[in-house]
Amino acid sequence: MAEPIDPLDELRAGLDALDTAGLRRRRRIVTTPCRPDTRLADRDGAVLAFCSNDYLGLAAEPAIAAALRQGSERWGSGSGASHLVSGHYAAHEALEQRLAAFTGMDDALYFSTGYMANIGVMPALVGRGDAIFADKLNHASLVDGALLSRAELIRYPHCDLGALSARLAASSAPRKLIVTDGVFSMDGDIAPLPELLALAEAHQAWLLVDDAHGFGVLGPQGRGCLAHFGLASPRLIYMGTLGKAAGVSGAFVAGQRDVIDWLLNKARSYIFTTGAPPMLAEGLLTALDLIEQGDARRAHLNALIARFKAGLSLQRWQLLPSDTPIQPLVIGDNHETLAVSRALDAEGLWVPAIRPPTVPKGEARLRIVLSAAHSAEQVDRLVDTLKRLEATQA
């Protein structure tokens, strides 16, 4: 018989091992609202933050805060029940209608978080004996959704259409689901969606697109990555999140009416959870107005992206090719990446180190995120500091 393991000793040893590998995670306590000029509990003075996904600078927007206050006066705090019991309010319904119209889809379903949307949608669409075709760099929530579905998970190399096509052709699964990030969260590149949709149509597969980082940013009026490419098809299921560019919280899935009705009946992470506070839906309706009228914010953001890329010339560290606000700077080694992140902190700049398992081994990076809330001077300060640090770090 094997010796029994003391489970607490084992956890402690595991934490030590994470420390040694430079992989132990710690949270920092923020004492200001989400904005570039940030204060932290563990440090004096302000830091200039390049880490949130608040792409349009809406997370601390007063008009949204006011809508939330009015929403709380109208609806109180809680929904009291799941949507299917008694927790579906007129504010939720109005939000779903608005999201469907905005994305050009028949219908939409509002989920509490993007993680819950993904783990709910995938098992509702496919199950044992079916096949999911997933980009290797997809977000963790899509991996978890695939595992929960019990369908076979077939991963293809990042954006490799030839490999995907061969795997689709080789599969005899009765139901097929292709799933991809629209904008890859740690790389910033955009998935080849027209080609992916052509493959989905050729193989009678669903194409589920997770647009957590494109919604509000890409396409006319920020309608997202499908609008960016001008795509529409009954095969498409679109997922967007509402805690990033939209600056509030939650997510939605949009598609054909029957698809949405099926999800409403089958997605367990929709059914077995309390509806989000209705006041959030009120805040989100205002956020959607601001996204729709947000051309000036998007133009400013795109100018900052171009300025950052043009300004940053480095020798050893590699800026990945990206035209989105996610600008990853690959340093490679976990410890060196942490050291650079700490050196930036000492200079008053907050850029988190992203390490495995969030990114592949040996590809630790700074995930630099630009926002419409930044100024050109703030971006220049980041560029100048990075250049100087690269030259001085051994």
Q: Which residues are catalytic?
A: 185, 213, 244
Q: Does 135 bind ligand PLP (CB under 6 A)?
A: no
Closest contact distance (angstroms) between CB of 216 and ligand PLP is 13
Residues 70-109, one symbol each (x = binds ligand PLP by CB under 6 A, - = not), give ----------------------------------------
Number of residues counted as binding ligand PLP (CB under 6 A): 14
Contacts to ligand PLP from residues 30-59, by CB under 6 A: none
Q: Does 210 bind ligand PLP (CB under 6 A)?
A: yes
Where does residue 204 rank: exposed (0-12), middle (13-18), buried (19+ CB within 10 A)?
exposed
Structure tokens at 382: 């980041």
Contact by Cβ (8 Å): 246, 58: yes
Closest contact distance (angstroms) between CB of 5 and ligand PLP is 33
Pick the closer one to ligand PLP by CB: 241 or 334.
241
Where does residue 117 rank: exposed (0-12), middle (13-18), buried (19+ CB within 10 A)?
buried
Q: Does 180 bind ligand PLP (CB under 6 A)?
A: no
Closest contact distance (angstroms) between CB of 212 and ligand PLP is 3
Distance of CA 34 to the CA centre of its chain: 17
Q: Does 243 bind ligand PLP (CB under 6 A)?
A: yes
> Contact region for ligand PLP (CB under 6 A) — 44-52, 189-197, 208-216, 283-291?
208-216
Of 38, 103, 149, 241, the one binding ligand PLP by CB under 6 A: 241
Of 59, 212, 354, 372, the one binding ligand PLP by CB under 6 A: 212
Alpha-carbon dihedral of residues 166, 171, 176, 178, nearest 10 degrees? -30
H or E element in which residue 384 lies = helix 376-392
Q: Residue 308: count other Cβ atoms within 10 Å of its Cβ.
A: 22
Contact by Cβ (8 Å): 373, 35: yes
φ, ψ of residue 391 to 5 degrees: the values are -70, -30
Q: Does 269 bind ligand PLP (CB under 6 A)?
A: no
Of 83, 98, 139, 235, the one binding ligand PLP by CB under 6 A: 139
Of 113, 269, 286, 371, the one binding ligand PLP by CB under 6 A: 113
Q: Does 185 bind ligand PLP (CB under 6 A)?
A: yes
Pick the closer one to ligand PLP by CB: 47 or 253.
253
Q: Does 229 bind ligand PLP (CB under 6 A)?
A: no
Where does residue 347 rank: exposed (0-12), middle (13-18), buried (19+ CB within 10 A)?
middle
Question: Which residues have a Cβ under 8 Å from the Cβ of 378 and sit 6 or more positions away?
Answer: 36, 48
Report how far residue 63's alpha carbon sits from residue 137's, in angstroms, rounded to the nearest whole number: 36
Pick the closer one to ligand PLP by CB: 176 or 367.
367
Of 52, 103, 141, 371, the one binding ligand PLP by CB under 6 A: 141
Report how far residue 133's alpha carbon sits from residue 376's, in angstroms, rounded to the nearest whole number: 41
> Contact region for ligand PLP (CB under 6 A) — 55-63, 123-131, 207-215, 230-238?
207-215
CA-based max dimension of the chain: 68
Sites of contact with ligand PLP (CB under 6 A): 113-115, 118, 139, 141, 181, 185, 210, 212-213, 241, 243, 251
